[in-house]
A and B are shown apart, each in its own frame.
Chain A
Amino acid sequence: DIQMTQSPPSLSASVGDRVAITCRASQNINRYLNWYQQKPGKAPRLLIYLTSSLQSGVPSRFSGGGSGTDFTLTISSLQPEDFATYYCQLSYPTHTFGQGTKLDIK
């Protein structure tokens, strides 16, 4: 089974900061990697699909990159509404999620 490992598990940052969250796969997954945002009590929201494609309606301050085993979600300038938990998810051959990264206000 392919394991997905996110780092860091938690992150404190300030409004306006640039932050990066990493997801590492236990084997080569090409570009089959997606990112979601989840706020407390809400369903996850798709942000980025297939490594770097921005989902419709998602602000351009969110971006994704990587390939093979190492991937990154970057938020260029944190806004108050961005404080949430972020998950990576494998697209193929199955749909394993990472353990999540909780982003909170410093």
Chain B
Amino acid sequence: QVQLLESGPGLVKLSETLSLTCTVSGGSIAGYYWGWIRQPPGRELEYIGYVHDTGTANDFNPSFTSRATVSLDMSRSRFSLRLTSATAADTAMYYCARLDKNGYYDHWGQGILVTVSS
């Protein structure tokens, strides 16, 4: 059974870069797409972006295009999210997930809460 686990700092300072990692276990990272979704407190899910294991397919929510990067480390079975110029509006639970080629997220991490504050 594929399992995903997010890791990273729970507190990020305003204007700095938010960096998270998702480690995949119980299955191969190869041949799949991998994505990030976030959820501000008390609000709905918000799609951030995804990457294919080849790195050739990549898509972002237009709201994040200029600030977000998603990358893969195949050797360590993990992928990462970098979100630059963090603001208080980036405070959220961040989820990593496996994305099927048909566009649905079938395996999710437990989530990690990130607070952006001065």
Q: How far is the CA of A44 from the CA of B50 in the complex (A)?
A: 17
Most buried by A among B44, B62, B95, B100: B44
Interface size range of chain A in the complex: 20 to 34
A97 & B102 in contact (Cβ 8 Å cutoff): no
Q: How many residues of B contact A (CB 8 A)?
A: 22
Contact of B111 among A43, A89, A96 (CB under 8 A): A43
24 sampled A-B residue pairs with Cβ under 8 A:
A34-B103, A34-B105, A36-B45, A43-B109, A43-B110, A44-B37, A44-B105, A44-B108, A46-B105, A49-B102, A55-B106, A87-B44, A89-B45, A91-B102, A91-B103, A92-B103, A94-B61, A95-B37, A95-B59, A95-B61, A96-B61, A97-B44, A97-B45, A100-B44
B contacts, CB < 8 Å to A = 35, 37, 44-47, 50, 59, 61-62, 95, 99-100, 102-106, 108-111
